Amino acid sequence: MPKKKSILDFFKMKKEGEKVAWVTAYDFPTAQFAEQAGMDMILVGDSLGMVVKGYKGTVPVTMEDCIAHSQDVRRGAPNTYCIGDMPFGSYQVSDEKAVENAVRFLKEADMDAIKLEGGRRVASQIKAISDAGIVVFGHIGLTPQSSGQLGGFKAQGLTVESARDLIKDAIAIEEAGALALLLEAVPPEVTDFIAKKLKIPVYSIGAGLPCDGQLLICGDMMGMFQAFTPKFVKKYANIAEIEINAFKEYIKDVKVLTLGCGAAIATSKGWNTLIVPSLLIGVWGYIIGNYIGYFVGMMLQTIFQ
Ligand code: KIV
């Protein structure tokens, strides 16, 4: 089994140009599969609100949700670097609250790091959490928790001014003590600039290739999340189709077995030539069985009366 990576490995990978592959996971089996596949890291994203719980966004997700799912993931991937995602409301109120909640991810769910959204406006929370000895991942660009302010799930950094803002945010995040940064839905040129400018590893989700690694949401890449699929996502499987077909097959089997009839089995299997003979055998079996039952009953009656 490969050794569990540390944040130092991710700095080394940046230096050596080795890309990091990470994915979100929210449950025990997915975490197991990711670890078995050799994933570099796992994010227990608050995207669980959309992917697992069916919310429209991530805002309703609570600390309790994130801790519970982080625990499930840790049980499934004991040897993978795991990042807990701080949900909306868990770090905005004060530095103290931010540290308190960040600590919970380590103490209660054995996470290796936490991630939070925002640039300069959360620099003091990043510093406070980092000063408490916790590895912080920053996250800027399309930040789903503040998608209301962004006017929806929209790409960021498209104008010179907003690209400049992103760069200022990225620098502030590094200066505040974050040890990695995730860029979401920003132009690859901006990603390239930031990845070269910062000493910390810079990762992309829908922000192009020129950086230190890629993140995808497991529900998107596995074809499980059906509400929408972002344009940049490559679907590596179609789990929804596989599951729906398996469920259909099972439903058919249950109905057929309940009937307990050869003709029904022949129909479900597509053995068309056997349908009529099985039906006749079934009907004759029923008639003969009834007659035998009737005569046996009569005999018993005459014997015991
Ligand atoms: O919650 C999450 O999965 C995330 C990604 C969208 C980056 O924060």
In a domain, 20, yes or no: yes
pTM: 0.85
Residues 128 and 49 in one domain: yes
Q: Which range, 143-152, 269-278, 293-302, has the best average confidence (pLDDT)?
A: 143-152
In a domain, 2, yes or no: no
Q: Tell me how far apart the alpha carbons of residues 254 and 259 are, in angstroms, rounded to a whole number.
A: 9
The percentage of the chain sitting over the pLDDT mark of 70, rounded to a whole number, equals: 92
Mark which of 237, 253, 271 sits at the end of a domain.
237
Q: What is the predicted pLDDT for the residue at 257?
A: 67
Confidence of residue 283 (pLDDT cuts 50, 70, 90): low
Domain that holds residue 185: 7-237
Residues 276 and 188 in one domain: no
Mark which of 187, 211, 237 sits at the end of a domain.
237
Would you say residue 260 has pLDDT above 60?
no
In a domain, 64, yes or no: yes
CA distances from 69 to 30, 83, 103, 128 (A): 11, 11, 16, 25
CA distances from 210 to 111, 115, 194, 201 (A): 28, 21, 10, 12
Q: What is the predicted pLDDT for the residue at 168?
A: 98
Residues 185 and 293 in one domain: no
What mean pLDDT do residues 171-198 have?
Answer: 98
Ligand 1 centroid, distance to 142 Cα (angstroms): 10
Residues 48 and 116 in one domain: yes
Q: Does residue 22 or residue 289 have the better pLDDT?
A: 22
In a domain, 151, yes or no: yes
Mark which of 185, 215, 237 sits at the end of a domain.
237
- CATH code, domain carrying 187: 3.20.20.60
Q: What is the predicted pLDDT for the residue at 256?
A: 75
- Copy the structure tokens of residue 141: 């660009």
Residues 171 and 300 in one domain: no
Ligand 1: which residue has its CA nearest to atom 3?
Answer: 45
Q: What is the predicted pLDDT for the residue at 259?
A: 56
Residues 15 and 114 in one domain: yes
Say yes or no: CB of residue 25 within 6 Å of ligand 1: no
Q: Tell me how far apart the alpha carbons of residues 44 and 34 are, in angstroms, rounded to a whole number.
A: 12
Which residue, chain included where needed, has tokens 């699929």? 229
Ligand 1: which residue has its CA nearest to atom 6?
Answer: 47
Residues 229 and 300 in one domain: no
In a domain, 153, yes or no: yes
Average pLDDT, the chain: 92
Residues 6 or more apart whose Cβ sits within 8 Å of residue 39: 21, 22, 23, 77, 80
Q: 145-154, 156-165, 168-177, 277-286: which range is least confident on average?
A: 277-286
Q: Tell me how far apart the alpha carbons of residues 125 and 253 are, in angstroms, rounded to a whole number.
A: 56
Residues 230 and 262 in one domain: no
Atom of ligand 1 nearest to the CA of 205: 7
Catalytic residues: 184
Residues 263 and 141 in one domain: no
Atom of ligand 1 nearest to the CA of 43: 3
Residues 194 and 279 in one domain: no
